[in-house]
Structure 1
Amino acid sequence: MKHLLLGLFLVTQFSISQQNTAKLNPNSLRIELTNGHWFNGNTFVEKKVWVNNGILSFSKENTQNDTVIDLTGKYVIPPFAEAHNHNLESDYELEKRISAYLDNGVFYVKHLSSIKKRIDPLMHHYNKPNGIDVSLAHAPLTGSGGHPVALRKRFLGYGHFDGLFNTIEEIESHGYFIMDNEDDLKRKWNQVLSFKPNFIKINLLYSEEYVKRKNDTAYFGKKGLDPDLVPAIVAKAHKNNLRVSAHVATAHDFHVAVAAGVHEIAHLPEIHNGQSIALEDAQLAAQRGVVVTTTASLVTKNRKKPNYDELLGNVRSNLKILKEAGVTLAIGSDMYNDSSVGEFQLLHSLNLFSNLELLKMWCENSATTTLPHRKIAFLKEGYEASFLVLDKNPLQQIDDVNKSIKLRVKQGAILD
């Protein structure tokens, strides 16, 4: 019998053979975890837990364990997730970004748009046992001259697409799909599906001014889909068992998206404009199970504006409307150099959510909207054995929860 000291944990009976490798994760161990307090969605309960083939069990004791870990009274929670970002498409400092996610306990990332030709060479970094798991929309749907056409054009000028595209016209159908009417939707839909997206992203920006902005070049990049086309897009996605995530800017965009039946709102609306969400729209979103990803920390980009405090106050007010209506909130930053930690910290600073609400938003809601078909985000029988062990009870002290991680386990394999 070998004795191995792993951080603060005493690990015993450590022996792994090829015959005992897991089906889910080839590095998975058969583990017995004792004296740990496990999060059950509301509180922490002391339990003995087993891991076999990368799966959790609270009742089926392993007949032989590779590893026994005494958790010495520490606290076990599901991993965190980042429900909105775009920072995994470039190889620039990619390992640093992946390490930042894992170091902070963020195992799952929802990538809201990407160019498939650009991200494909990097996919060997993702969706593997010792890395982060990602879901991808690839090219978003927008209107002529809409977001993100201007952004793609700017990046083309910076040389980000050298070797892939020479003109902005070549990027169309790779970096975005122009959908101005139902004929476009019918003609291009199979190409959208050919990229095998995990979900569909649509861009709604200032839809209340769609007619005004449609043909005005002054609004290049500051407009999106025809709001009347959105229900048809959602219906197409439903037929192909694809969820729809809507980028929104205004309260009216939020209204259009929720009324059309989208599954997710990718941004808190009115972050930069300072208007209120209609209560009836928030109530409808709750009734339909629509997830709203916060991205509230984007308001900090307005710090130098004289009305910053008003904008921050409006962000808090709209989050309160959503919370009180019962809308499911997920934590996502849309900040290139963040791993959803900064978003969590801003939400905590608003003094709007309890520690329990913040924990569930980051561990449960963010993960399930990122990878809705996986058995993750909960510490339940038969779920993936992915979890974080903390030396502090986050229901009592959550402000530095990511810094209190003592052990990271993904699909039954110890990452540390």
Structure 2
Amino acid sequence: MIKHPLSFALVAATAALAGCPAAQAQEAATCRFTLEGANVFTGAGFEQRDVSVNGAMFVADHPEGAPRIPASWMYVMPPIVDVHTHTLDQVSKPGNSAHRDFLDRGIYFALNPNSILLEDGALPLAPDQVEVAFTGGGITGPGGHPRPLYEGLVRAGIYRDIAIEELPGRAYHEAATPEEAREAVRQVAATGVKAVKMMLYDHTSPGTDSLDEARFRAAVDEAKTLGLRPMIHVEYAHDARLAFELGVAAIVHMPGHSGPRRGKEELYRLTPQDAALAAKNNVAVVPTLAIAFNSASGDALLQAQELQAYNLKLLREAGVTIGAGSDRYSADALDELDLMRVSGIFDGPELLRIATENGFRIAFGEDRKGGKIAPGYEASFIALYSDPGRDWYSLRNPIAGIRGGVPIETGRVLIEACAAD
């Protein structure tokens, strides 16, 4: 999206490629070109080199007969991945402004770790939509989260295409026994999703309305048997500890994400042993720092941020994979990255890895080759007008982009390099 004053000069530099509007390059467009001398994000910083795209993939050599684009002014990095959003749900229709808002900010991929299952399944992907990994309805205990939340959203008119009576089995699955937990996982697997959400909050309490340990172990075991990646909602450190022990794919909150309850800070603090276990068992963490920032202020917010920083430092030092997602309808991964940046815990390249490579792995798993700009990986990138290490807010203003070889941009920088079939 072209917003910065420098962008007009950049477009002029590529005038030969600016002959047709983005609207003409949608469904059937594929890209073949080489960016010559682009500044490319490597995971450790930006280096100047060529980038070649041949259809859906990055390739090592220039595609024969394809355009060569002078790109020394481009800073090229993988698209951003928001790994905890409910803004993009299966009830969103094509053309939904939320999708366009995400795309305009360089967020081409996302994970929705609890979504309503529609009768006709997930929407087909189009260039004007974010590619979202869905989990379907989460598995919880009788009456547990997210049941009250979804019932409230229906009553408020947020979901107009579904009645409260239709929510069970679509927005959530309630399990009172280990076998019911296994059956709920089988129901989720039957919808075709690749991941499953499970609720675990104060699971050792006799009065918990989340899954207890027996039901949780049964659900995780069934998910792994069926090839689903478990995504876990946690509240307390002992909830995260059990998830780390079982080697789930990710916990999609960090203990203390909402701030500690007064006098109970210790219940939310991870230990170095917890962080080491998460790293050993390859469990990713999505902190969702924005939750406390959204709801707390003054001393309560300072206390929340101190707790968040304590846990984040442990996870970072242990080498745990961290992703960015806000779990707020009014915010996204970029807002979460801002909070990570001001914490002072991460440097610039680390934040960009969190936003891209880490996020892609959390959303889609390790078998899919994306989130890097390298031959053999999916040809997806955004182009910025400056290095976000020096100009952080340039990250919010991509001037060009493609996903899987298809142009996503609203500007006209790369369009003619992507010929209609």
* TM-score, normalising length: structure 2: 0.85
1:342-357 aligned at under 5 Å gives the runs 342-357=335-350
Distance 1:411 1:393, change over 3 A: same
Residue 230 and residue 136 in structure 1: after superposition, are their counterparts in 2 closer, same or farther (change >3 A)?
same
Amino acid at match of 1:242: L
Deviation at 1:404, TM superposition (A): 4.7
Task: State the match for 2:75 in structure 1.
Answer: 75
- Shift, 1:208, TM fit: 3.2
Equivalent residue number for residue 39 of structure 2: 37
CA contact (8 A) 2:385 2:394 kept: no
Which of residues 369, 381, 400 is equivalent to 1:387?
381
Residues 42 and 340 of structure 1: is their aligned pair in 2 closer, same or farther, counting only changes over 3 Å? same
What residue is the counterpart of 1:358 in the other structure?
351
Q: Which residue of the partner structure matches residue 402 of structure 1?
A: 395
Q: 1:94 to 1:49 in 2, by over 3 A?
A: closer
Q: Return the offset for 1:298.
A: 0.8
| Partner SS, residue 392 of structure 2 | coil
3-state SS, counterpart of residue 47 of structure 1: strand
Which residue is equivalent to 2:100?
A: 99
Matched, 1:7 2:23: no
1:140-179 matches, within 5 Å, as: 140-162=138-160, 164-167=162-165, 170-179=166-175
Alpha carbons 1:203, 1:248 under 8 Å: kept:
yes
Give 1:92 shift.
Answer: 8.7
Contact 2:88/2:132, CA 8 A, preserved across alignment: no
Alignment deviations for residues 206-247 of structure 1 (CA, whole Å, 9 cap, x no partner):
2232x1x24xxxxxxxx4111222222111111111110000
Superposed CA offset, 1:362-382 (max 9, x none): 111011211224321001102
Measure the CA separation in 2 of the matches of 1:276 and 1:54: 44
Q: Relative to structure 1, is the Cα distance of residues 26 and 153 closer, same or farther in structure 2, using a 3 angstrom cutoff?
A: same
Which of 51, 54, 57 is matched with 1:52 structurally?
54
Deviations 1:323-377 (A, max 9, x none): 1121111111111122211111111111111111111111110112112243210
Cα distance change, pair 57–146 in 1 and its aligned pair in 2 (3 A): same
**Greater CA drift, 186-195 or 230-239:** 186-195
- Is 1:329 equivalent to 2:322 in the alignment? yes
TM superposition score normalised by structure 1: 0.86
| C-alpha spacing 1:27/1:160, structure 2 compared with 1 (3 Å) | same
Question: Partner amino acid for 1:61?
Answer: H
Cα distance, 1:72 vs structure 2: 2.5
Paired residue total: 389
**SS at 2:176 equivalent:** coil
Identity %: 25
Query: How big is the shift at 1:80?
Result: 0.6
Aligned equivalents of 2:154, 2:17: Cα separation in 1: 55
Superposition pairs of residues 17-416 of structure 1, within 5 angstroms: 26-58=28-60, 60-65=61-66, 67-89=67-89, 90-91=91-92, 95-117=96-118, 120=121, 123-124=123-124, 127-162=125-160, 164-167=162-165, 170-209=166-205, 211=206, 213-214=207-208, 223-271=209-257, 272-273=259-260, 274=265, 275-304=268-297, 306-372=299-365, 373-394=367-388, 396-397=389-390, 399-414=392-407, 415=409, 416=411
Asked if the contact 1:234/1:261 (under 8 Å) is kept, the reply is: no
Please tell me the root mean square deviation across aligned C-alpha atoms, in Å: 2.7
CA contact 2:254–2:286 (8 Å) conserved in 1: yes
AA partner of residue 204 (structure 1)? L
Runs (5+) with no aligned partner, structure 2: 1-8, 412-421
Task: Determine helix, strand or coil for the equivalent of 1:45.
Answer: strand
Instruction: Give the Cα–Cα distance (whole angstroms) in 1 for the partners of residues 248 and 128 of structure 2.
Output: 33
* CA apart distance, 1:305: 6.0
Report how far residue 195 of structure 1 moved: 1.8
Residues 130-151 of structure 1: CA deviation (Å, up to 9, x unaligned):
4311100011000011101111
| Unaligned ranges ≥5, structure 1 | 215-222
Query: Larger RCO: Structure 1 or Structure 2 (Cα < 8 Å, ≥ 6 residues apart)?
Result: 2
Flag the 1:62–1:162 CA change in 2: closer, same or farther, 3 A.
Answer: closer
